[in-house]
Structure 1
């Protein structure tokens, strides 16, 4: 037995072993999604597509689920999760949009302009920032940014104008997007730096030899060549932003409210709560059947959103590669 284990793997045995590992991973993922879908079905069965709609106080609805106990009637499953879905999409889209632009410009500076000594210090620092636990960012937000926004950016007139609807106290959309951007940007910078560094220098030198400026050579040659890597970085960052719970629970205001852009500048200060933060905050009441089904429904929406991001990113990357090849 020991002799057989010590023998080097043949190509065929290695192929079978790796194939079995890949199949096992896929089966685990499928089983997890199926389990969550089964647990989430009662919530979707009682609400239908109205689950994604508006028309109620989502916090009050989840409170009623807990109070309904273990023998919940059909009306206890009522949930209009639009404020939570909207908050998730809003914070993710804004953070990723800002983060992509910042990451591309930062990567260009590191690869093309920064002296070697600066690059040797900055790159490890960025990788370190990408590994910082999200709760640390949440502490920075709640202890630094939230008091600053409350004391210096929100006026008394703004508080009074929405006092009958919502309370403005610092936590809200602005702080959530800023901290979330700070969290996901280092991941994108690290990936884009590696991609830019892999672009052959001769390509840029050829563009410079044709008389174009250095900036135009970088943008039209290097950045164009790494567009699939930029898409991959954005998809990875979006997946992390979708699933972020603890940090957003700390700095978002933890209110099932949909900030309204037509409110003007106040829109940036209005509280909200994404789906992942709601799951984390409502986990204590998971023994109530109606709330448990709703929590699993939120988890299923997040899983399917990540799946669509991955599939969409793969399609975009493939089209970009085909376009470059032509």
Structure 2
């Protein structure tokens, strides 16, 4: 029997067995989505998708009222307007991914094309190590170092007093959340883009140089252009991690269901918020209340659908690049 197991697979056997594994993964994902949807259905049925996604009232107060409901709550007990949490997710994730992507592209170009061999031998392992650091470590640094610095040195007493009747500015908020999240996702993007740039044949850039392009022009117009599918993949992967980040953002975002208003000017970046994933973690102790439990599953469903949309969007974005023969 063991001798039979050691025999190499034929092409047909490999196709069927690997295909079965892929189908099993797809089945598990489908079952997970179905399970979460069933558990979230009471909230979605009571509110409706459009209303549930919109603004209206304090989401913190609404979750607090759900805790007081019984084990068989009426539809009115599921009342929730999740827009402040969705807005917090969009702000932190969107800004962090855009800033991180720019930084990652230029960092990867430096590592691959300009860094001396000794520097590269240190930087590349360091980047991979940073990508593996637990998120709670970043959150701890954010709450113990960044937030006190922002609260004591960047937010003036006059600014705190100007909004104290609406929200308290203590250093945690948009700025610290975006900084921490950016630092978390940048190593992932750098590692992926570095591998993609290394896969570009040297003959491509050498050909561009032979045609009169300087080194930077050859890198930007040939290497970076050819690596665009990998850059898109890095952005999608980083965005998916940012969407699901809970612990670190719960520590540094201010943890309040509040929608910072850009009209407030510079005060906007100091105002607190709370993303969806952080809301799930912070309300996990109230899962005994059916209304809260269903709402948490609704948050999870929204994050799952967002990840699916990201994957589809990334695939669509890479199609024109592949048609141009720039596959990496």
Whether TM-score is above 0.5 comes out as: yes
C-alpha distance in 1 between matches for 2:199 and 2:161: 55
C-alpha distance in 2 between matches for 1:180 and 1:77: 31
Segments of structure 2 that go 5 or more residues without pairing to the other structure are: none
Matched, 1:188 2:189: yes
C-alpha distance in 2 between matches for 1:114 and 1:147: 35
Segments of structure 1 that go 5 or more residues without pairing to the other structure are: none
Aligned to 1:109: 110
- Describe the SS at the equivalent of 2:258: coil
Aligned to 1:39: 39
C-alpha distance in 1 between matches for 2:27 and 2:251: 35
Deviation at 1:67, TM superposition (A): 0.7
C-alpha distance in 1 between matches for 2:260 and 2:66: 25
- Describe the SS at the equivalent of 1:59: helix
Residue deviations 1:172-231 (CA, integer Å, cap 9, x gap):
000000000000000000000011111111111121222222111111111111011100
Aligned to 1:230: 231
Aligned to 2:267: 266
Aligned to 1:11: 11
CA contact 2:147–2:172 (8 Å) conserved in 1:
yes
Give 1:113-128 correspondences, 5 Å limit.
113-128=114-129
C-alpha distance in 2 between matches for 1:57 and 1:109: 47
C-alpha distance in 2 between matches for 1:301 and 1:183: 22
Count of matched residue positions in the alignment of Structure 1 and Structure 2: 326
Give 1:74-223 correspondences, 5 Å limit.
74-223=75-224
Deviation at 1:163, TM superposition (A): 0.7
CA contact 2:226–2:326 (8 Å) conserved in 1:
no
CA contact 2:37–2:301 (8 Å) conserved in 1:
yes
Of stretches 77-86 and 215-224 in structure 1, the one that deviates more from structure 2 is: 215-224
- Describe the SS at the equivalent of 1:170: coil
Give 1:244-255 correspondences, 5 Å limit.
244-255=245-256
- Describe the SS at the equivalent of 2:283: helix
- Describe the SS at the equivalent of 1:132: coil
CA contact 2:227–2:326 (8 Å) conserved in 1:
no
Deviation at 1:76, TM superposition (A): 1.0
Of stretches 35-44 and 2-11 in structure 1, the one that deviates more from structure 2 is: 2-11
Deviation at 1:4, TM superposition (A): 3.1
Deviation at 1:3, TM superposition (A): 4.0
Distance 1:34 1:161, change over 3 A: same
Residue deviations 1:249-280 (CA, integer Å, cap 9, x gap):
00001000011111000000000000000001
Please provide the CA RMSD for this pair.
1.2
Matched, 1:301 2:302: yes
Distance 1:325 1:252, change over 3 A: closer
CA contact 2:52–2:82 (8 Å) conserved in 1:
yes
C-alpha distance in 1 between matches for 2:29 and 2:199: 33
C-alpha distance in 2 between matches for 1:36 and 1:99: 31
Aligned to 2:21: 21
C-alpha distance in 2 between matches for 1:205 and 1:168: 54
- Describe the SS at the equivalent of 2:324: helix
Aligned to 2:281: 280
Of stretches 206-215 and 274-283 in structure 1, the one that deviates more from structure 2 is: 206-215
